[in-house]
Structure 1
Amino acid sequence: MKNVWLSILGVFFFMTCYAQEREVIKLWQDSIPNAIENPDYKEIQTQKDSALWSVEKVKEPTLTIFAPEQPNGTAVVICPGGGYHHLAINKEGFKIAEWLNTRGITAFVLKYRMPNDSISTNKTIAPLQDAQRAMRYVRQNAKHWNLDENKIGVLGFSAGGHLASTLSTHYNDAVYESEYEVSARPDFSILVYPVISMKDGVTHQGSKTNLLGETPSKKTVEFYSNETQITSETPKTILIHATDDKSVPVENSLQYYLALKENKVPAELHIYEKGGHGFGLGRGFTSDDWPKACETWLDKNDL
């Protein structure tokens, strides 16, 4: 009987720890700014192997919290990719959070709104509103998770890399009225095969159209081409890309890196021969080494 109770307690302990590590919170506690009520617009979730794999039609943003057993004080807000159409939330969200947990980093997977005219008065700013809110929320509540409020970064993949670089260059933009006085500026950025530019010939057309619409003005294209928005205050950055990426040209990372260098922002760039697009933590190509390179960069920056 004693062994039975120990087993029950062990299961309860595991489930409690799992629930704590996977706590999900609503990003906006009251009303969502810039939102249009649309009951017909419903979130679509895709499951694979009994796990949430991807999400479409996001209109209620959340943060899923992955807390390591021994937090080192650093935190990362993760922005999964998906062309501003869906979120590859498992491969580019949950899996990445688990990897960060292994080195003591507390991870927050951001399920951000998809830019859509049927749920937003201005679809273009909706993802940035969510990213700013997520950064401010984590910083405001840093003590709750034993975090250093000066070691909170952002990590983004593909279109999520565009959102992460938009947050890194537009953190001061007044896109909503915040009740928090803390800054939305990330302390560092990790950009993996990111969409950076909205300019023809460099951008990922699907991401551009979904975010900016079919015929954006030149001013809007320039504004969201984040290689043109870098200043000396842009966060230090590590960029990861593959030369053979046929979806998001490597020039996106190259141009961002060169602009960081020009503005004397600490930057590191890793370009791999093979990896294609969407390689996540690895698919058997030379790009598989990027997590190790990133860990070294984090260590050398005391993160």
Structure 2
Amino acid sequence: MISQIQAQNQVLPLWKVIPQEIKAPDYQEKEITKEGKVQSTSLVSIPTLSVFLPSGIKQNQTAVIILPGGGYQHLAIDKEGTKVAEWFNSLGIVAFVLKYRLPSDLIMTNKNVGPLQDAQEAIRVVRQNAAKWNIDPNKIGIMGFSAGGHLASTLCTHYDDRVYETSSKVSARPDFSLLIYPVISMQNDITHKGSQISLLGENASQELIDSFSNEKKVTAQTPPAFLVHATDDGAVFPENSINYYLALKNNKVVAELHLYENGGHGFGLGVKDTSKFWTKACEEWLKSNNY
């Protein structure tokens, strides 16, 4: 087990200066731990990138930045972060878990773009340091679960948006995306209401809703996607994944969608029923696309 414990090599602060930050001394991060492991965290004000390197140094490795879910209210950092990073390491893939800021008017001047600022910067940091971690700068993917899937798909469709001042010429476009029971849409009929309210507020304008309904923002330049959803997901309807998949297909972007009969919501790496086989399908997809 030593290799697993050593797998998390370092935790890096994402920013030197957090953009559009509001200082709020009372806004303190809250962690929920179980048996010494952080399960969930909320009230994140200082975003970090945890680095998980597979054993054995290889050149030109694939990397995936993982965005845990939690309805833009908390981060399921173990089930949809650490555990997933360890799984990637077992496949020889470099993994990063992004502890991103959750939308809050208390710590950011525009809560709609706070998480996206962190996601864009995470890709830039990994791409800038690709040589250091033996990563191929053209094989950097983004992965998101649930609301983290909304952030991942937002990054895939808004990677060129200038949401913070940067002199960096490094692209924030992921090379591929892995979207696991993702929130994609902010449209009232299919969105996850909690995520929508957290990100856009109680009475968001239709313009704002459209802007963050990522199925409407797909172009031919949107990164390829591997999508997983359970048909019986009552929290985030499978239409989120279906509509994104159809938008990718219509734009001739490489896409694969797995809809499982059972699994509900929040099955992580798979727990029971048919959803527990998605990791195998994901592994095969990564292989067949040379990641």
* TM-score tier (shorter): over 0.9
Say which SS state the counterpart of residue 179 (structure 1) adopts.
coil
Scaled by the length of structure 1, what TM-score is found?
Answer: 0.93
Deviation (angstroms), 1:21: 2.8
Distance in 1 (alpha carbons) for counterparts of 2:270 and 2:174: 26
Q: Which residue is equivalent to 1:36?
A: 22
Distance in 2 (alpha carbons) for counterparts of 1:293 and 1:34: 40
* Percent pairwise identity: 58
Distance in 2 (alpha carbons) for counterparts of 1:254 and 1:142: 33
Task: Name the structure with the higher helix share.
Answer: 1
**Equivalent in 69, 74, 94 of residue 82 of structure 2:** 94
Task: Kindly report which structure 2 residues correspond to 1:66-105, keeping only aligned pairs within 5 A, or say none.
Answer: 66-70=52-56, 71=58, 73-105=61-93
Q: Which residue is equivalent to 2:9?
A: 22
Distance in 1 (alpha carbons) for counterparts of 2:200 and 2:185: 12
Distance in 2 (alpha carbons) for counterparts of 1:49 and 1:243: 33
Instruction: Give CA-to-partner distance per residue, 1:46-97, whole Å, 9 cap, x none.
Output: 0012101000000100000000013461000100000000000000000000
Scaled by the length of structure 2, what TM-score is found?
Answer: 0.97
Q: Which residue is equivalent to 1:269?
A: 257
Structure 2 spans left out of the alignment, 5+ residues = none
Distance in 2 (alpha carbons) for counterparts of 1:45 and 1:289: 30
**Equivalent in 182, 195, 213 of residue 194 of structure 1:** 182
**Equivalent in 38, 49, 67 of residue 35 of structure 2:** 49
Distance in 1 (alpha carbons) for counterparts of 2:193 and 2:8: 36
Say which SS state the counterpart of residue 132 (structure 1) adopts.
helix
- Contact 2:7–2:55 (8 Å) recurs in 1: no
**Equivalent in 108, 121, 125 of residue 113 of structure 2:** 125
Q: Which has more radius of gyration?
A: 1
Instruction: Give CA-to-partner distance per residue, 1:124-150, whole Å, 9 cap, x none.
Output: 100000000000000000000000000
Distance in 1 (alpha carbons) for counterparts of 2:224 and 2:166: 25
Q: Given residue 48 of structure 1, which amino acid in structure 2 is its aligned partner? A: K
Deviation (angstroms), 1:22: 3.3
Q: Given residue 209 of structure 2, which amino acid in structure 1 is its aligned partner? A: V
Q: How many residues in Structure 1 have an aligned counterpart in Structure 2?
A: 289
Q: Which residue is equivalent to 2:135?
A: 147
- Contact 1:21–1:68 (8 Å) recurs in 2: no
Moved over 3 A (4+): 17-20
Say which SS state the counterpart of residue 113 (structure 2) adopts.
helix
**Equivalent in 59, 76, 79 of residue 45 of structure 2:** 59
